[in-house]
Amino acid sequence: MNIGIAGLGLIGGSLALALRRAGHVVVGKNRSRAAAEYALAHGVVDSISDDLSQCDVVFVALPPAATIEYICTAPFSPRTVVADICGVKLPVERAVCARRPQLKYVGTHPMAGKEVSGVGNASADLFVGASMVLTSNAVTDAPAYALIGRLTADMGFARIVECSAEVHDKKIAYTSQLAHIVSNCYVKDESLSGCLGFTGGSFQDMTRIAGVDENVWTELYLLNSENLVKCVRSLADRLCAVADAVERGEPGSLKSLLREGRYRFEDERLNSFRGEGITVTPLK
């Protein structure tokens, strides 16, 4: 199968490598010529072209605004299936449905990544053991959706998580966007200076994703603002409750707050894929 990848960064490059390993022919497209030449020279893609219109499937691995513009304006064959991997789904889905309703579009979001970026860090194994989220609505083309599901299995994902774009954006505000914000805010404390001699695994876990690309993540945050603001304000309330208990020297209140968190951590829901409006299909 001929598959196009628009955007040869970490995720786009990893998609290309995983698909090539599965036996597919991959055509890459990238705004930066240097990244495109690297991808071709290192076997990330089979070829480079600005025209992906005749590919069977095109994965769009671009920032949000660029994703919407490319999907809604680029030429595609009537048979081409177009899938974006953007970190927010509802804004993309709404734009495509409004501007290009006949397009065979499927929303996807691979739940994998690294702290580093760029095609030089791409890996065919990035998605091994990971989840691939597929979103759909009432007008999603069923054969196109099924095809993306088969390619998901080809790339080595462990499971497919199916839901609406609305459910995806609510969940991702909590599981990804809030986590990145907390990490980014955590390293702004004045105590950061001279801290390395006092750090262990907890510090590394808290700071690993602090260095976000502010251009891409600003787009993601603003496109999912309603869901994200609720998550941030809810977390702020819980942090203030702990600060108040410590400041007042109330061990009973503090123990109660910490116990509540421990119980939530031990709750089976933390270790479950089940949820309202979510269907999970294991692939291995």
Q: Is 240 a residue whose pLDDT tops 90? A: yes
To the nearest whole number, what is the mean pLDDT of the chain? 96
Q: Assess whether pLDDT exceeds 80 at residue 284.
A: no
Instruction: Report if pTM > 0.85.
Output: yes
Q: Are 81 and 56 in contact (CB under 8 A)?
A: yes
Q: What are phi and psi of 123, to 5 degrees?
A: -145, 135
**Average confidence (pLDDT) over 252-276:** 91
CA distance 148 to 157: 12
Cβ proximity of 208 and 183 under 8 Å:
yes
Q: How far is CA 77 from CA 74, 85, 94, 149, in A?
A: 10, 20, 21, 20
Query: What is the SS3 assignment for 263?
Result: helix
Question: Across the strands, what pairs with 47?
Answer: 27
Q: Where are the domains of the chain?
A: 2-163, 169-271
Note the helical H segments in the chain: 10-21, 33-41, 64-73, 90-99, 142-154, 165-172, 178-186, 201-207, 214-223, 225-247, 251-266
Question: What contacts 213, CB < 8 A, 6 or more positions away?
Answer: 117
CB 151 within 8 A of CB 143: no
Q: Write the pLDDT tens digit of every residue in 132-183.
A: 999 999 999 999 999 999 999 999 999 999 999 999 999 999 999 999 999 9
Topology classification of domain 2-163: Rossmann fold (3.40.50)
Q: What are phi and psi of 139, to 5 degrees?
A: -105, 5
pLDDT of 230 higher than 90: yes
Q: Which of 11-20, 97-106, 268-277 has the lowest mean pLDDT?
A: 268-277
- Residue 212 is predicted with a pLDDT of 86
105: pLDDT strictly greater than 80:
yes
Indicate whether 268 pLDDT > 80.
no
Q: What is the pLDDT of residue 274?
A: 83
Strand partners for 163: 135
CA distance 273 to 259: 24
> In CATH, what number does 169-271 get?
1.10.3660.10
18 pLDDT higher than 90: yes
Percent of the residues in the chain that have a pLDDT greater than 90, as a whole number: 93
pLDDT tens track for 150-163: 999 999 999 999 99
Mind listing the pLDDT tens digit for each residue in 20-70? 999 999 999 999 999 999 999 999 999 999 999 999 999 999 999 999 999
Per-residue pLDDT, 153 = 97
**pLDDT single digits (tens) 184-206:** 999 999 999 999 899 999 999 99
